[in-house]
Amino acid sequence: MKKLNRRTKVLLLTILMTVILIAFYAFAVLIPESAVASSFLNAKLPPSWEHPFGTDALGRDLLMRTFKGMAVSMTVGIVASGISAVLAVFIGIAAATGSKRVDAVISWIIDLVMGIPHTVLIILISFALGRGLKGLLVGVAATHWCSLARLIRGEVLQLRSQQYVAVSRRLGKSSGWILVHHLLPHLVPQFFVGLVLMFPHAILHEASISFLGYGLPPEQPAIGIILAESMKYISAGMWWPAVFPGLTLVLIVLLVDRLGDNLRMVIDPYNAQE
């Protein structure tokens, strides 16, 4: 068999990771309610073959519950980072192509958003929207666009100084035409890499805030809520509800993080030769 080169390996790895993540998500979404039904006979069981993650205080299977929770958290993460990334593209382009004043205003807004600790800001936004899924989504989306917006602003500024853009302008193309045909195609890879790399942050913040008790109701167990419930039993020595769901969260976050890095390596032309 011919030895694969490094780029192909990275590409295959990226595809494999994507497939694993999608399969996990699909599996978790399809888990029926009955799999997490409570039964008091099975309450507080330590991990066994029947219940690999053990059961919680109400006798619900923690493996299924964790997977379901992960699906909820991943949905929030995907939607929030999607909104955030689109926002970042618009704001970044506006800052780079607008007047000096627009740029100054946007940089001031970024300073403002960065100036309040994210956790506090999300709490505030979540409170403003009446603590629920909506508050959580808007809160996470509103706090994560800053660094990507800065990146895109820099990218657009660099692109605009390229000769072909200048030529295009001399040829009488409107700035809208230049934006669509010259700038946006270059931003697509940035956008996707930014989106994937934003996702772990979003999901970690989502978990933190729902751990504090904001966001989703207890019937819809996001991963943070499962962990918050485990707090109550931790002093009694019940270790499994705290350890396994958290471990699952960390694994998923790591997987997405590596996926983002690999994606960047595949897309970035400067790395293509490595």
Q: Can residue 159 be called a binding residue for other proteins (CB under 8 A)? A: no
Q: Can residue 57 be called a binding residue for other proteins (CB under 8 A)? A: no
Number of residues that bind other proteins (CB under 8 A): 44
Residue in 9, 15, 38, 117 binding other proteins, rule: CB under 8 A? 117
Region 82-111 residues binding other proteins, contact defined as CB under 8 A: 108, 111
Residue 82: both structure tokens together: 């999607």
Smallest distance, other proteins to C-beta of residue 117, A:
4
Residue 162 or 271: which CB sits closer to other proteins? 271
Residue 203: both structure tokens together: 């999901």
Binding map of other proteins across residues 236-265, x = CB under 8 A, - = no contact? -x-x--xx--x--xx--xx--x--------
Q: How far apart are CA 236 and CA 218, in angstroms?
A: 22
3-state secondary structure 41-79: HHCCCCCCCCCCCCECCCCCEHHHHHHHHHHHHHHHHHH
Three-state DSSP at 216 gives coil
Residue in 125, 196, 197, 259 binding other proteins, rule: CB under 8 A? 125
Which of the 8 DSSP states describes residue 235? T
DSSP string covering 77-96, please? Answer: HHHHHHHHHHHHHHHHHHHH
Smallest distance, other proteins to C-beta of residue 186, A:
27
Question: What are the b/e assignments for 50-66, b being 16+ CB within 10 Å?
Answer: ebebbbbbebbbbbbbb
Which of the 8 DSSP states describes residue 180? I
Q: Which residues bind other proteins (CB under 8 A)?
A: 108, 111-112, 114-121, 123-131, 200, 204, 207-208, 211-214, 224, 227, 230-231, 234-235, 237, 239, 242-243, 246, 249-250, 253-254, 257
